[in-house]
């Protein structure tokens, strides 16, 4: 028996955030140190204080002979079972009882694994390893096995005003809840000019601004009071839609509120305003999935390129943002062909939505979604397919009328547990 499964890279959407802890990492070669440093720079480790050294277990033993060990220590060794256990024995003499230890080894040996577990080592990872594997191991130490898994945050942002990012976000949230029968929360972060309540013909209720006013007080009870029900499985955390207040706030406040929202549903659709501020950048960088909506015009292409470059650089261990080309084929309007637009960004568009002013205009005027006013339209078909892809579900075939939940269950264990109950 081997530990091959230990080297599998976890799905990036399912790797949890690492809490505010201190971590000491002691590799025994520059290659491992480079991977560890990449992990330390990942968005999921933003709260942790990490120190990376290249002196192995011996270096860790020497370093902590004169100072207290941090919350987590990761040590690497190229030795065999006997050597690793001997080195750890010496390290144990300087390691405090409440410190968690993760061992990186180069021996795929179940006997060594069992010995390490018997000696209360938190995890044993066989090299080669990935950045996400390290983050997942650290986060797993602090995860409550009885707690419900966190929901996925899917952020929608437009390249400029009027490209339809909000409309698409609202329709996708509706599709998640109605077509996919999944608990979904739509969060409107356009606090001054948001249209979520209008597009759903809803009065509003509590707002995201109220939560931001005192983020430290936000819990599940307050969240339930602030959210409005838009359907059996769709809730709205609305923007106040007013210009009477100064909507300046910091990134940490948004982070704090969204962390509570993540615990309330498997899918959270976040409607990001067409504005640029530190909190906007922070929210996009820390979302599980980012959807960029653009129109086939030069200003939109320039802005899409800037967004894409920023997100790729800031999220090196995440999937590339998805691109939606919206309102394509406006009569007499010069447009950049979809193929050229995609080529300039280096990615294929996940969806190309045609110019359909009648369907979208009627939906907006009625306070409905396009699935309600034009369910057989090309736009509705494209958006439905996109909703399945974002949720990780295979769309049901016309013959069977059934869909494959396997991928979705892997990504959303919260839904799985509910179904199994």
pLDDT of 231 reads: 85
Residue 331: inside a domain, yes or no? yes
Q: Mean pLDDT over residues 42-58, rounded?
A: 93
pLDDT band for 201, please (50, 70, 90 cuts).
confident
Q: Peptide bond preceding 128: is omega within 30 degrees of 0, i.e. cis?
A: yes
What is the CB neighbour count within 10 angstroms for residue 86?
13
- Domain boundary (87, 119, 141) is at 141
Residue 411 pLDDT greater than 80, yes or no: no
Give me 291's structure tokens.
Answer: 């959807």
Is residue 285 domain-shared with residue 390, that is, in the same domain? yes
Rounded alpha-carbon distances, angstroms, from residue 122 to 65, 130, 181, 242, 337: 21, 18, 38, 50, 53
Report the range of poorest mean pLDDT among 78-82, 176-180, 189-193, 339-343.
189-193
Give me 258's structure tokens.
Answer: 């969204």
**DSSP run (H or E) holding 259:** helix 251-262
Is residue 253 domain-shared with residue 183, that is, in the same domain? yes
Is residue 103 domain-shared with residue 183, that is, in the same domain? no
Q: Mean pLDDT over residues 73-87, rounded?
A: 93
Give me 157's structure tokens.
Answer: 């942002």
pLDDT per residue as tens digits for the range 326-337: 999 999 999 999
Residue 171: inside a domain, yes or no? yes
- The domain that holds 349 is classified in CATH as 3.40.50.300
Q: How far apart are CA 107 and CA 92, in angstroms?
A: 21
Is residue 129 domain-shared with residue 49, that is, in the same domain? yes
| 239 vs 17, more confident | 17
Query: What does pLDDT average to over the chain?
Result: 86
pLDDT of 175 reads: 95
Is residue 101 domain-shared with residue 169, that is, in the same domain? no
Q: How far apart are CA 144 and CA 274, in angstroms?
A: 37
Residue 338: inside a domain, yes or no? yes
- Domain boundary (118, 141, 164) is at 141
Is residue 108 domain-shared with residue 192, that is, in the same domain? no
Name the residue range of residue 64's domain: 4-10+17-141
Q: Mean pLDDT over residues 102-129, rounded?
A: 91
Q: Mean pLDDT over residues 309-316, rounded?
A: 93
Residue 147: inside a domain, yes or no? no
Q: What is the 3-state secondary structure (H, E, C) of the chain?
A: CCCHHHHCCCCHHHCCCCCCCEEEEECCCHHHHHHHHHHHCCHHHCCCEEEEECCHHHHHHHHCCCCCCCCEEEEEECCCHHHHHHHHHHHHCCCCCCCEEEEEECCCCHHHHHHHHHCCCCEEEECCCCHHHHHHHHHHHCCCCCCCCCCEEEEEEECCCCCCHHHHHHHHHHHHHHHCCCCEEEEECCCCCCCHHHHCCCCCCCEHHHHHHCHHHCCHHHHHHHCEECCCCEEEEECCCCCCCCCCCCHHHHHHHHHHHHCCCCEEEEECCCCCCHHHHHHHHHCCEEEEEECCCHHHHHHHHHHHHHHHHHCCCCCCCEEEEEEECCCCCCCCCHHHHHHHHCCCCCEEEECCHHHHHHHHHHCCCHHHHCCCCHHHHHHHHHHHHHHCCCCCCCCCCCCCCHHHHHHCHHHHHHHHC
| 262 vs 352, more confident | 352
Q: Mean pLDDT over residues 209-234, rounded?
A: 81
pLDDT of 418 reads: 44
| 195 vs 52, more confident | 52
Residue 146: inside a domain, yes or no? no
Q: How far apart are CA 80 and CA 368, in angstroms?
A: 65
| 272 vs 15, more confident | 272
Is residue 189 domain-shared with residue 85, that is, in the same domain? no
Partner residues linked to 100 by β-bridges: 72
Q: Model-level pTM? A: 0.81
Task: Give 383's contacts (C-beta < 8 A, 6+ positions apart).
Answer: 168, 171, 172, 175, 351, 353, 370, 371
Residue 114 pLDDT greater than 80, yes or no: yes
Is residue 53 domain-shared with residue 194, that is, in the same domain? no
Percentage of residues of the chain with pLDDT beyond 70: 87
Partner residues linked to 157 by β-bridges: 292
Is residue 78 domain-shared with residue 113, that is, in the same domain? yes
Is residue 37 domain-shared with residue 168, that is, in the same domain? no
Q: Which residue has the tokens 């990504």?
A: 411
- Domain boundary (141, 174, 204) is at 141
Percentage of residues of the chain with pLDDT beyond 90: 60
pLDDT of 389 reads: 92
Q: How far apart are CA 311 and CA 271, in angstroms?
A: 17
Residue 206: inside a domain, yes or no? yes
Is residue 171 domain-shared with residue 129, that is, in the same domain? no
Q: How far apart are CA 240 and CA 263, in angstroms?
A: 23
Residue 326: inside a domain, yes or no? yes
Q: Which residue has the tokens 């309102």?
A: 327
pLDDT band for 271, please (50, 70, 90 cuts).
very high
Is residue 275 domain-shared with residue 416, that is, in the same domain? yes
Residue 249: inside a domain, yes or no? yes
Q: Which of 114, 121, 127 is nearest to 141 (CA)?
A: 121
pLDDT of 225 reads: 84
- The domain that holds 93 is classified in CATH as 3.40.50.2300
pLDDT of 147 reads: 67
On whether the CB atoms of residues 77 and 90 are closer than 8 A, the answer is no
The total number of structural domains that make up the chain = 2
Task: Give 156's contacts (C-beta < 8 A, 6+ positions apart).
Answer: 165, 166, 168, 169, 172, 269, 270, 271, 272, 291, 293
């Amino acid at each position: 028996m081997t530990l091959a499964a230990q080297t599998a890279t976890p799905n990036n959407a399912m790797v949890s955030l690492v809490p505010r802890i201190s971590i000491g990492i002691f590799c025994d070669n520059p290659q491992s140190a480079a991977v560890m440093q990449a992990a330390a720079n990942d968005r999921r480790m933003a709260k942790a204080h990490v120190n990376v050294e290249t002196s192995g277990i011996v270096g860790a033993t020497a370093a902590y002979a004169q100072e207290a060990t941090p919350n987590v220590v990761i040590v690497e060794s190229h030795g065999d079972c006997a050597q690793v256990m001997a080195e750890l024995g010496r390290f144990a003499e300087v390691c405090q009882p409440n410190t968690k230890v993760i061992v990186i080894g180069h021996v795929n040996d179940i006997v060594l694994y069992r010995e390490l577990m018997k000696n209360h080592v938190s995890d044993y990872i066989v090299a080669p390893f990935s950045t996400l594997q390290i983050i997942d191991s650290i986060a797993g130490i602090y995860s409550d096995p009885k707690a419900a898994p966190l929901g996925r945050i899917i952020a929608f942002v437009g390249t400029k005003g009027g490209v339809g990012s909000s409309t698409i976000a609202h329709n996708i949230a509706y599709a998640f809840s109605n077509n996919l029968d999944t608990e979904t929360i739509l969060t409107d972060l356009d606090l001054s000019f948001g249209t979520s309540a209008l597009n759903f013909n809803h009065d509003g209720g509590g707002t995201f601004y109220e939560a931001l006013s005192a983020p430290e007080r936000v819990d599940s009870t307050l969240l339930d009071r602030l959210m409005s029900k838009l359907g059996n499985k769709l809730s709205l955390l609305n923007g106040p839609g007013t210009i009477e207040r100064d909507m300046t706030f910091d990134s940490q406040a948004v982070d704090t509120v969204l962390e509570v929202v993540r615990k309330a549903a498997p899918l959270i659709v976040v409607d990001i305003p067409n504005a640029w501020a530190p909190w906007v950048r922070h929210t996009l960088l820390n979302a599980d999935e980012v959807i960029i909506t653009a129109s086939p015009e030069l200003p939109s292409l320039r802005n899409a390129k800037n967004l894409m470059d920023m997100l790729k650089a800031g999220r090196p261990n995440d999937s590339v943002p998805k691109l939606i080309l919206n309102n394509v084929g406006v009569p007499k309007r010069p447009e950049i062909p979809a193929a050229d637009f995609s080529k300039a960004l280096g990615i294929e568009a996940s969806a190309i939505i045609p110019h359909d002013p009648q369907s979208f205009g009627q939906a907006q005027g009625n306070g409905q979604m396009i699935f309600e006013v034009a369910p057989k339209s090309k736009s509705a078909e494209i958006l439905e397919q996109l909703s399945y892809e974002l949720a990780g579900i295979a769309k049901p075939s016309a013959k069977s009328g059934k869909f494959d939940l396997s991928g979705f269950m892997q990504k959303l264990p919260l839904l799985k547990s509910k179904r199994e109950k």
